[in-house]
Amino acid sequence: MEVRGAVLREVGKPLEIETLTLAPPGPGELLVRVRAAGLCHSDLSVIDGSRPRPVPMVLGHEAAGEVVEAGPGSDFQPGEHVVLTFVPSCGDCAPCTAGRPALCGPAAAANREGTLLGGDVRWSSPVGRPLHHLGVSAFASQVVVSDRSAVRIDKALPFEIAALFGCAVLTGAGAVFNAAHVRPGTAWPCSASAESVCPRCLPRRPPVRARCSRSIRCPASGSWRGRWVPRC
């Protein structure tokens, strides 16, 4: 089938909006209609070359959408709403079985090569076969992804909010809860990074503006610095 996608053909050059051919989903894969996608700094880093990736590549790696078709062996159903995230989890490798799916070995290899988790590339075009960006390639009207890159969500959740859970909330909240061990309700300085989410903001729906008048000690560095920043 033919779809529209934003392709990075050459590092440092603007994305090209192109008509691409998308192969049907293989075993364990999904065809998803993208309804919302976020522009992450990691996409910009691929464009400017500070995060090297093979090209051509259909960029984008946080999205929400609707399942159109499920490949053989997938238990997803057409019509289900999903968030697409940049780290699939094979479920079988050592990190996955140890409860650390973010470190999945096959996923890291696939993301490095620009393939889906199963090793295949479903894009094609008359001027070279574009690769998948982190198993998602969100900047396209429809995408094929491994169902290990998809998480079911409630249909009541707006797509533009859900898309942020594919990377921004995942990385921001992951850092807050798992690295810094901050708990909801505690005060904490947070950076102005576009991907950071402070604990004060978490109970709300982003984008949220939060501000605190007090400087507070950073439990990580011990230094007195930072205020609640106007943008989290």
Per CB under 5 A, residues contacting Zn ion are 40, 42, 90, 93, 96, 104, 167
**Least distance from C-beta 125 to Zn ion, angstroms?**
24
Amino acid, single-letter form, for residue 95: P
Would you say 206 or 217 has its CB closer to Zn ion? 206
- State the nearest-atom distance from the C-beta of 44 to Zn ion, in Å: 10
Q: Which value, to the nearest 10 degrees, does the dihedral of the CA atoms of residues 185, 190, 196, 197 take?
A: 20
CB 168, min distance to Zn ion, A:
7
Cβ of residue 109: shortest distance to Zn ion, in angstroms?
Answer: 10
Please state the closest distance from residue 117 (CB atom) to Zn ion, in A. Answer: 9
Residue-wise burial string across 194-210, b where 16 or more C-beta atoms lie within 10 A, e elsewhere: ebbbbbbbbeeebeeeb
Between 34 and 93, name the residue whose CB sits nearer to Zn ion.
93
Nearer to Zn ion, 19 or 178 (CB): 178
Nearer to Zn ion, 30 or 104 (CB): 104
Q: Which is nearer to Zn ion, 95 or 125 (CB)?
A: 95
- DSSP letters along 166-187, please? GTHHHHHHHIIIIIS---TT--
DSSP code string of 24-48? PP-TTEEEEEEEEE---HHHHHHHH
Alpha-carbon span 130 to 6, nearest angstrom: 10
